[in-house]
């Protein structure tokens, strides 16, 4: 970077900060002087890149004082404090050797707390803690608390992702270097003693937020006596760890043995972590007297964490059942786009199912005609299209099976059951609208312009060409034309909904992409469905590639599967 004389450009981790700030765009660069190796190779100086008093925003002693202060107020272990201090200084020293020390602290804070890619920032946005107003909720009836939560975020202009980003960047820009170092130190101290709780990222975010609120409180600032060493481990980490342990192990003859309990009945890391994703989940954290932790003032929650009844707070969010029904739940769209399209192909080529004169339509056949000639035969388009369209009902039927199978995996609460049953209702309506016209089209699908009274439908082949009527019944002709038109519309309807159900994930139905943060879909896109977006060019190439793959697949399926299966199917049917 120095040899090419390129200006350092911050990555996405620092885009939450203003680049015009003096501590972001440092004109001096602040890099180490590699022409003077004694400045950073002196073995007597720990963290040599963080040693120049003219460039570092905080001295090593000031950062160490931050660790000691946090340890005294929150009850961390001394060994943890020393380990995390060395870890933080090592990261700062490493980054300061490649950029200015101020930028090193900024990027470290951005990666842990404030940057666009920091998990804490995403969690804070998802949990809506900027709307945390427990003092107001304490004064109203519990039944009205949910209404208040909705009213707090009712203004779409103030609760959009863009508005949140602007507020967050303003907050990050206003922070002092001391506050950035203190937040990073607090996060590392919490993580250092978290043990197995490190697998629950959003739980750690919540503990950081609670600890941060307590550190800023007057009670913490005025505290004289240090907290007992190990208080954090004993009062906060151990109860959560014990809950996890008791879910999987039980005491038998004084020894812990693995419980004979299926995963579907065991609350695990993921179930615990999802409790902290949403404001509704945070409001399920309760004490033994059923009062809520979130109704406690933010500055007092840290000291009340030890009184939380975690057994009453956690619940299963997903039932990990071992069953073949996963094939329907997870791959319903795959079945739709394969089975339904194959049905279309088979009905199209297997004209013997609805046309008694199918052999005469074959140019190579000599049944009832001269080879190479096709006589004037009845039009069977109405029956063909309605039978093909009836196969489109397979698409909603397969989605119905997937939805019913999904009920075995998700908890039976109000939110999930409402979404699933609305989805079931939608699929039933699509299925009924798809298959119902067939019951009217089929008996009215025979061409009334021909005399079909002498047709032997039990015969394998028809040997005689039906005669055309000179004066057909005008009413029957009108009904037949209407049936043919209905069958074509029915087929188009079937194809459109087959495409829709092949492309539209069932989980997104009845979940509009709201611009504010009241929708559950935004929560899923923040955590479970958080994928990097593609640019227009890359997305176009991806869509074109997959479109070409499926086009080739469907063309090959028609010529090498459907046509190959026509003759065996005909002889089996006969």
pLDDT digits (tens, 9 = 90+) for 265-297: 888 888 899 889 888 889 999 999 889 998 899
State the pLDDT confidence band at 28, using cuts at 50, 70 and 90.
Answer: very low
Sign of CA dihedral 275, 277, 282, 283: negative
50 touches 60 (CB < 8 A): yes
pLDDT of residue 544: 94
What letter would DSSP give residue 234? I
State the pLDDT confidence band at 9, using cuts at 50, 70 and 90.
Answer: very low
Scanning 59-160, the segments in alpha helix (DSSP H) are: 60-74, 78-96, 101-109, 119-127, 134-137, 145-152
State the pLDDT confidence band at 10, using cuts at 50, 70 and 90.
Answer: very low
- Alpha carbon 399 to chain centroid, angstroms: 19
In what helix (H) or strand (E) does residue 146 lie, and over which residues does it extend? Answer: helix 145-152
Q: What is the mean pLDDT of residues 183-189?
A: 95
Instruction: Tell me the backbone φ, ψ of residue 332, rounded to 5 degrees.
Output: -60, -40
State the pLDDT confidence band at 466, using cuts at 50, 70 and 90.
Answer: confident
Kindly tell me if the per-residue pLDDT of 74 is higher than 70.
Answer: yes
Scanning 504-535, the segments in alpha helix (DSSP H) are: 520-526
Of the candidate ranges 360-364, 396-400, 439-443, the one whose mean pLDDT is the lowest: 360-364
Length of the chain: 574
pLDDT of residue 363: 55
> 361-390 pLDDT, tens per residue?
665 555 555 555 666 778 888 999 999 999
In what helix (H) or strand (E) does residue 169 lie, and over which residues does it extend? Answer: helix 161-173
| Torsion of the alpha carbons at 562, 566, 567 and 570, rounded to the nearest 10 | 150
pLDDT of residue 35: 53
Kindly tell me if the per-residue pLDDT of 19 is higher than 70.
Answer: no
Q: What is the mean pLDDT of residues 429-442?
A: 93
Cβ atoms within 10 A of the Cβ of 175, count? 16
Higher pLDDT, 215 or 261: 215
CA angle 22, 25, 28 (to 5 degrees): 95
pLDDT of residue 138: 44
Q: Strand runs (DSSP E) across 246-381, as ranges?
A: 249-252, 255-258
Instruction: Tell me the backbone φ, ψ of residue 50, rounded to 5 degrees.
Output: -110, 45
Rounded CA gap, 237 and 234, in Å? 6
pLDDT of residue 73: 92
pLDDT of residue 18: 46
Q: What is the mean pLDDT of residues 533-558?
A: 92
Q: Pick the closest to residue 102 from 166, 181, 187 (CA basis).
A: 181
Q: What is the mean pLDDT of residues 193-216?
A: 92
Q: Pick the closest to residue 276 from 124, 110, 150, 115 (CA basis).
A: 124
Q: What is the mean pLDDT of residues 449-454?
A: 76
Higher pLDDT, 8 or 561: 561
Q: What is the mean pLDDT of residues 34-48?
A: 61
pLDDT of residue 13: 47
Rounded CA gap, 201 and 288, in Å? 25
Sign of CA dihedral 16, 20, 23, 28: positive
Cβ atoms within 10 A of the Cβ of 195, count? 14
State the pLDDT confidence band at 173, using cuts at 50, 70 and 90.
Answer: confident
């Amino acid at each position: 970077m120095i040899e090419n004389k390129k200006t350092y450009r911050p990555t996405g981790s620092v885009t939450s900060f203003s680049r015009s700030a003096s501590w972001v765009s440092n004109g001096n660069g602040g890099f180490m002087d590699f022409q003077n190796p004694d400045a950073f190779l002196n073995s007597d100086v720990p963290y040599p890149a963080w040693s120049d008093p003219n460039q570092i925003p905080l001295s090593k002693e000031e950062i160490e004082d931050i660790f000691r202060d946090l340890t005294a107020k929150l009850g961390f272990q001394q060994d943890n404090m020393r380990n995390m201090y060395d870890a933080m200084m090592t990261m700062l020293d490493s980054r300061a050797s490649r950029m200015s020390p101020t930028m090193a602290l900024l990027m470290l804070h951005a990666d842990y707390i404030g940057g666009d890619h920091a998990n804490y920032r995403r969690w804070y946005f998802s949990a809506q803690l900027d709307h945390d107003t427990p003092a107001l909720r304490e004064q109203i009836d519990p039944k009205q608390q949910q209404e208040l939560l909705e009213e707090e975020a009712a203004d779409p202009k103030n609760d959009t992702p863009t508005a949140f980003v602007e507020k967050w960047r303003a907050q990050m820009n206003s922070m002092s270097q001391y506050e950035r170092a203190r937040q990073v130190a607090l996060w590392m101290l919490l993580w250092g003693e978290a043990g197995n709780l490190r697998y629950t990222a959003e739980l750690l975010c919540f503990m950081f937020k609670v600890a941060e609120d307590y550190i800023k409180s007057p009670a913490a600032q005025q505290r004289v006596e240090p907290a007992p060493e190990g208080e954090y481990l004993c009062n906060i980490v151990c109860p959560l760890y014990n809950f996890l342990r008791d879910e999987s192990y039980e005491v038998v003859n004084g020894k812990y043995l693995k419980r004979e309990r299926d995963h579907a009945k065991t609350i695990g890391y993921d179930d615990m972590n999802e409790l902290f994703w949403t404001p509704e989940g945070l409001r399920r954290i309760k004490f033994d007297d059923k009062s809520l932790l979130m109704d406690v003032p933010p500055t007092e929650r840290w000291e009340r964490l030890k009184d939380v009844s975690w057994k009453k707070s956690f619940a299963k969010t997903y039932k990990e059942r071992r069953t073949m029904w996963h094939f329907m739940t997870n791959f319903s769209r795959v079945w739709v786009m394969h089975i339904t399209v194959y049905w279309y192909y088979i009905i199209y080529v297997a004209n013997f199912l609805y046309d008694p004169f199918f052999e005469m339509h074959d140019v190579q056949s000599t049944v009832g005609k001269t080879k190479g000639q096709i006589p004037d035969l009845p039009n069977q388009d109405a029956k063909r299209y309605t039978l093909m369209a009836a196969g489109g009902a397979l698409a909603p039927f397969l989605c119905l099976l997937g939805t019913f199978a999904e009920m075995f995996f998700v908890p039976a609460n109000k939110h999930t059951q409402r979404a699933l049953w609305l989805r079931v209702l939608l699929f039933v309506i699509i299925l009924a609208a798809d298959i119902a016209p067939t019951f009217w089209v089929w008996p009215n699908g025979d061409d009334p312009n021909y005399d079909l009274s002498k047709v032997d439908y039990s015969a394998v082949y028809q040997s005689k060409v039906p005669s055309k009527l000179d004066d057909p019944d005008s009413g029957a002709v009108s009904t037949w034309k209407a049936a043919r038109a209905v069958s074509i519309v029915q087929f188009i309807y079937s194809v459109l909904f087959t495409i829709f159900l092949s492309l539209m994930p069932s989980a997104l139905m009845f979940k509009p992409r709201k611009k504010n943060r009241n929708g559950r879909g935004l929560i899923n896109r923040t955590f479970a469905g958080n994928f990097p977006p593609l640019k227009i060019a890359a997305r176009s190439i991806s869509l074109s590639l997959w479109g070409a793959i499926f086009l080739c697949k469907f063309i090959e399926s028609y010529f090498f599967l459907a046509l190959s299966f026509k003759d065996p199917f005909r002889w089996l049917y006969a």
